[in-house]
Structures are given as C-alpha cells and as structure tokens.
Amino acid sequence: MGQKRVLLLCGDYMEDYETMIPFQALQAYGVAADAVCPGKKAGDVCRTAVHQMSVYQTYTEVLGHSFQLNATFDEVEAKSYDGLILPGGRAPEYLAHDANVVKLVSEFAKSGKVIASTCHGQLILAAADIVKGRKCTAFPAVGPALIAAGAHWVEPENLSATLVDGNLITAATYYGYPEFIRHIVKALGGNISGSNKRILFLCGDFMEDYEVAVPFHSLQALGCIVEAVCPNKKAGDSCPTAIHDFEGDQTYSEKPGHDFALNATYDNVDASSYDALVIPGGRAPEYLALNESVVALVKHFMEKKKPVASICHGQQILAAADVLKGKKCTAYPAVKLNVVLAGATWLEPDPIYRCFTDGNLVTGAAWPGHPEFISQLMVLLGICVSF
C-alpha cells in the first residue's frame, strides 16, 4: 500500500497551532503532508496568528511563527490526496470567498475523502455547501454560519470538543487536537500500537512554543499519558512560551507565544512511574539547568536508560546534568559549546531538521525537525502507526 497523503489548506493569519501540530504530527507518523495557499508557491510563507482565550470576552491575537509552504496551490489535485485539513484562525474568513478553494474542497467532499476542519475552518465547509444535514461543531462564533448553511450544529461543550460524521471531522479549537488527530489517523486507515506509555515533559517559562506543543499533542494523539510539569508550579498553572523563528537575521527572532497549561505538579513527580522524558528548547533550559532537582530528575532517566528526547537549547540541561560524556548528539548550533564541553561528540545539524538517536537519547536542533524527533522517540518507546 502506498504512503498516505494529506493536504493542508493554508492562508495568512491561520492559527499557529492549528496548522503546525497536525502538519508535523502526521509526518511523524509516516503520512506525507503538503501545505498550500492560494496565490503562493512552495517555499513562500504564510503568517500565522496565536489565538487564545484570556480574561476578555473573546480570544486575543498576536503574531505567530512564519509557516513555510512546501507545495504550490495551482499544482495540486484532490485525487492525489487521501485527506484534507483546514486550520482555523482568520484565514478561513477570506479563503471561503475564493472560488478555487471552494472548488477544491468540494472535490474532496464528492470523493468521500476525509476532511478535517478546526475552529473557523468550518466557514470554508459552509461556503463549499458540504455541511447540509451533517453534524458538526466549531468555535462557537462560527455556529450561525453553519446553521444557515443547513448543518446539524452541535454546540461545543468546551473548547476541546471534536465530532465525527462520516468522512467529516470537526473540532472547536486546537485544545481538542489529541482526539482530532487520532480521528484523522483512524479515518486514513491507521492503526496505533504500543501506545500505553507515560511520558514526562520538563517545562519552564519561555520554552519554545512549538517545541512543547507539537510533541505534547502528537504523543497524546497516539494514546500516551503525557504530563507536563515545571518547578515551583502546579497542575493548572501555565508557562508563557516564546516563538523562536528564522526570519533572515543572524540568529532566531523571538515573539510571545501561547500560554501552555501544565497538567501535573512538579513536586509530585515520581520519576520511576514514567517511561520517557521530553525536554523542550527555548530560553527555559538556561535557568532550569541551574536547578538541582531538575538535574537529579534528568540523571534518573539517563541512568535508568529510559528514552530521553531533548531539542534545541534543551541540551543545556543535559550538559548541566553531566550525562553527555561519550554520547553523540546535536542541538541548536549555539549550544554546541555546552555539548562539547560536556564531553559529547558533536553531530552537525545539517540541514537544521536533522535529529539523531544514540542509545536511549534522541536529540534535535530545532522545531523544523519535529517529524524526525517524534518518530525517533516513537521507535525507542515501541510505538507504531501502520496504514
């Protein structure tokens, strides 16, 4: 059987998480994913938006990562793909008025192929006239348009709500992405095995936004129990994140990212109860590496030879824990000094998405490498997605 292929329909100011999480998660599982935008070609970028709820009556918005397209809209055909994904954000407001977009979505619907849409993406479904009589949910503000288009509107009980009606998968927001992505895998004929694993994420303030959210949701979507903790914080608290992007400067730029909600309490962690540890990058590792309890936690996982996956600046913590001697690893290039001084053999991340496994240790240089990073961790954990 050939490799499964999905198409992401993108636009400027689509929601950041709602694009990158399914894009990289599905690639990590072995699905080919193409991202296109009308009027743009492969190699061009779309601006994204960080949307999240706060103290206001609606969501807030700040500028997100720049998302690079890997295919050209004018060259794609529905018949070449097994499924279509529509991220939310503000892009669907104008994409719904594009006749070529509506035609493409209609072709997927007529062929009975899987269509998975989030948040405001359902505006495009309404414009394509494919929701009549179909059960679907969305961000609540999209409800009136779906009702007017003849949908059987299902009010989301919370922002994690997802719904399946035949080949149509809808979600209220990215909060429901573990279930949303799991539904996509199932609809594509995928089977997940070996997923009964417990994984700990070591978080901190201003960790990189993608580097915590993408693997966190991807592993949850596989059925793993994933717990995120931060020193001096408890379950229900959040960590602010940083968006580190590559925008033509001599080093990465930084913008504020999503607030990432912790779902476990650091002081209650029993390291022996977890099968693996994940260390996101960003700026958090600079100060976490100075925390003795963090160092002891990392040493436990390495001494017990449990899988440890660390990306970008996360390797600063590995260096501080003195667990890199004799290991081969990579990191963000600026962290090379820490890695070499800690006694590791440096592996050049060329290109930047290269990831490496040495024994129980998976290392990556930056978030463009998430598909390799997650898939290599899956191998160590014995998790498999087969189609």
Residue 246: predicted pLDDT: 87
All structural domains of the chain with their residue ranges: 5-189, 193-386
CA dihedral 168, 104, 51, 144 (to 10 degrees): -60
pTM of the model: 0.97
Whether the bond into 87 is cis, omega within 30 of 0: no
Q: 18-52, pLDDT tens digit by residue?
A: 999 999 999 999 999 999 999 999 999 999 999 99
Provide the annotated active-site residues: 119-120, 312-313
What's the rounded mean pLDDT across residues 326-332? 98
Average pLDDT over residues 160-167: 98
Q: Residue 232: is its pLDDT beyond 80?
A: yes
pLDDT above 90 as % of the chain: 98
Is the per-residue pLDDT at 312 higher than 70? Answer: yes
Query: What's the pLDDT tens digit per position in 48-70?
Result: 999 999 999 999 999 999 999 99
CA distance 45 to 37: 9
- Position 209 pLDDT exceeds 90: yes
How many angstroms separate the Cα of 66 from the Cα of each of 1, 14, 222, 223?
34, 11, 27, 30
Q: Look up the CATH superfamily of 193-386.
A: Class I glutamine amidotransferase (GATase) domain (3.40.50.880)
- Residue-level pLDDT at 138: 98
Is the CATH number of domain 5-189 3.40.640.10?
no
Percentage, residues of the chain above pLDDT 70: 100
Q: What is the mean pLDDT of residues 244-249?
A: 92
Amino acid at the residue 371: P
Distance of alpha carbon 115 from alpha carbon 92, whole angstroms: 15
* pLDDT (tens digit per residue) in 286-310: 999 999 999 999 999 999 999 999 9
Query: Do 5-189 and 193-386 share a fold?
Result: yes
Residue 376 has pLDDT above 80, yes or no: yes
pLDDT at residue 1, as a whole number: 63
Note the pLDDT of residue 2: 86
Could you give the angle at which helices 370-381 and 16-28 cross, rounded to 10 degrees? 50
From the number of C-beta atoms within 10 Å of its C-beta (0-12, 13-18, 19+), residue 190 rates as middle
pLDDT for 130-146, tens place per residue? 999 999 999 999 999 99
Tell me what pLDDT residue 258 has: 98
Q: Residue written as tokens 């193409």?
A: 34
Q: What three-state secondary structure class fits 47?
A: strand
pLDDT of residue 257 exceeding 90, the answer is yes
**Tell me, what amino acid is at 256?**
P
Average of per-residue pLDDT values in the chain = 97
